[in-house]
């Protein structure tokens, strides 16, 4: 159980936001396996301000996935506040999450994401503006700092709490590390010891046992899983899927992709997910080649169904 502001989650294990991954179909699949809260892809506050059609498409939701955290990004306090107001008015979100941790060049080059950790005063204005704009719980996701020489996560976390954040999530790497090396769980522990609001730990959770290990080592209130859920929504439940469960889940995910996005877009975006599901299988490299060559739903369904058999040749 995890309490974030007025929201109480039955499970303290959360799906982390991933651009191009944590869309509605994937969130529904993760919810099926006990994820405590799912998170949207990153939503640009600027794009929302200009009512960009593709951005609104990212906000498609289903009541079955509740509670949903919607993550917004941007570096203009007024637009971030507007985004929070707009999302609250849509009655789709249980939480507004502020992205101050994304390391992608196209994000940081606009002074968004983890670039904000270099400007703590601006970050404070953004969080305060969002806090004042919505009654929903507000959370902030950030990293250890921009680089090793400027790790400021403790001061940053203290600022988040003082600015009205209801919880924070720390990814135990700097921006310059991207996803290389090992996540610093000791930093997560230090932040937890400093704050009175809930701290959620993120980084290097790749199997179910890692969840409890992080909690034991850091004392965090919750755990966020991102890359560890790729092709592995089972991580939220602790089950080790047999082949039937694995492929049946992949087929359900495939069907959701096509139903939500249409066959053309759904199939293009489903390829990476199907490839993640078959990772580690005998003949996986050949199966992935086949997956990436298929554009029709029926053909992909037939290929994945054929994997239900233990004995096959590719």
- pLDDT tier at 177 (50, 70, 90 boundaries)? confident
pLDDT tens for each residue of 262-309? 999 999 999 999 999 999 888 889 999 999 999 999 999 999 999 987
Structure confidence at residue 31 (pLDDT): 96
- pLDDT tier at 186 (50, 70, 90 boundaries)? very high
- Rounded distance between C-alpha atoms, residue 69 and residue 92, angstroms: 9
Of the candidates 30, 35, 39, 102, the residue annotated as catalytic is 102
- pLDDT tier at 71 (50, 70, 90 boundaries)? very high
Domains and CATH numbers, the chain: 2-236 (3.20.20.70), 243-306 (1.10.1200.80)
Q: Which residues 6+ apart lie within 8 Å of 119 measured at CB?
A: 111
For the chain, give the percent of residues with pLDDT over 90: 90
Mean pLDDT of 224-237: 96
What are the C-alpha distances in Å from 246 to residues 123, 240, 253, 287? 42, 9, 11, 15
- Give one DSSP letter per residue of 52-76, joined into a string: -HHHHHHT---GGG-SEEEEEE-S-
102 as an active site residue: the answer is yes
Mean pLDDT of 135-141: 98
Which one-letter DSSP state was computed for residue 168? E
């Amino acid at each position: 159980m995890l309490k974030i502001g007025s929201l109480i989650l039955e499970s303290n294990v959360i799906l982390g936001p991933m651009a191009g991954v944590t869309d509605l179909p994937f969130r529904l699949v993760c919810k099926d396996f006990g994820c405590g809260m799912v998170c949207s892809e990153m939503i640009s506050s600027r794009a929302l301000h200009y009512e960009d059609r593709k951005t609104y498409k990212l906000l498609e939701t289903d009541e079955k996935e509740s509670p949903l955290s919607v993550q917004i990004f941007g570096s203009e306090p007024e637009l971030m506040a507007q985004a929070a107001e707009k999302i609250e008015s849509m009655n789709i979100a249980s939480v507004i999450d502020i992205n101050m941790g994304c390391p992608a060049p196209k994000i940081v080059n606009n002074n968004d994401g983890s670039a904000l950790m270099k400007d703590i005063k601006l970050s404070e204005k953004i969080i305060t503006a969002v806090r004042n704009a919505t009654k929903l719980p507000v959370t902030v996701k950030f990293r250890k700092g921009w680089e090793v020489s400027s790790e400021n996560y403790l001061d940053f976390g203290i600022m988040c709490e003082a600015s009205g954040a209801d919880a924070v999530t720390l990814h135990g790497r700097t921006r310059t590390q991207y996803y290389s090396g090992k996540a610093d769980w000791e930093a997560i522990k230090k932040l937890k010891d400093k704050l009175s609001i809930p701290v959620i730990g993120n980084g290097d959770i790749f199997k179910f046992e890692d969840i409890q290990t992080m909690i034991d080592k850091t004392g965090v209130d919750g755990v966020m899983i991102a890359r560890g859920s790729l092709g592995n929504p089972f991580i939220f439940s602790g089950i080790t899927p047999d082949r039937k469960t694995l492929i049946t889940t992949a087929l359900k995910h495939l069907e959701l992709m096509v139903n939500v996005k249409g066959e053309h877009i759904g199939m293009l975006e489903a390829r990476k997910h199907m490839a993640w599901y078959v990772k580690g299988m005998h003949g996986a490299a050949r199966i992935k080649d086949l997956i990436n060559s298929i554009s029709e739903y029926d053909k992909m369904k037939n290929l994945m169904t054929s994997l239900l058999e233990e004995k096959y040749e590719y």
